[in-house]
Amino acid sequence: MPGEDLRHPFRITDRFGPRVQLAAALVAWVTVGVLMYAVEPVSTLVIVIFLALLFLALALTGAPIIYGLSLRFATSPRSREDTLRRSLRQGILAAGFVVANAVLLLIHALSFLTALLTLGAFATFELMLFVRSRS
């Protein structure tokens, strides 16, 4: 039926579940290791590729861990329903926080205050997304 696809939108659990995320994370970590071992960080492009792969590896590692913890401590059926999407978002935000601090360290601008301000910015962004998804 032509309108059936509109009634059942694509679910993230259909194709990108925790097992696929962990397999992709393993591939990303191996790629980060190969890049660190084989290439000298002399150009900006190598550093950008390293940071992008690090972001991907951290996000894909963090999301299944957060998903497992969310399932363990979820109380309501609604919170169990969107735990995968929320855990993926939180894994991406956590990886973004780590990579943002790595960039600040790279340009010699990281201090306790900047790390705290970055944490506050990421926490505010997550709170905004959480409140928006509740309504």
Q: What pLDDT shows up at residue 81?
A: 64
Per-residue pLDDT reduced to its tens digit, 43-99: 999 999 999 999 999 999 999 999 888 888 877 776 666 788 888 899 999 999 999
State how far the Cα of 131 lies from the Cα of 56, in Å rounded to an integer. 26
Cα four-point dihedral sign 35, 38, 42, 43: negative
CA dist 24 and 1 (Å) reads 34
Residue 3 clears pLDDT 60, i.e. is over it: no
Reported for 24-27, long-range contacts at CB under 8 A and 24+ positions apart, including other chains, are 24/60, 25/57, 25/60, 25/61, 25/64
**pLDDT over threshold 50, residue 1:** no
For residue range 96-114, list pLDDT tens digits in order. 999 999 999 999 999 999 9
What's the predicted TM-score (pTM) here? 0.81
Length of the chain: 135
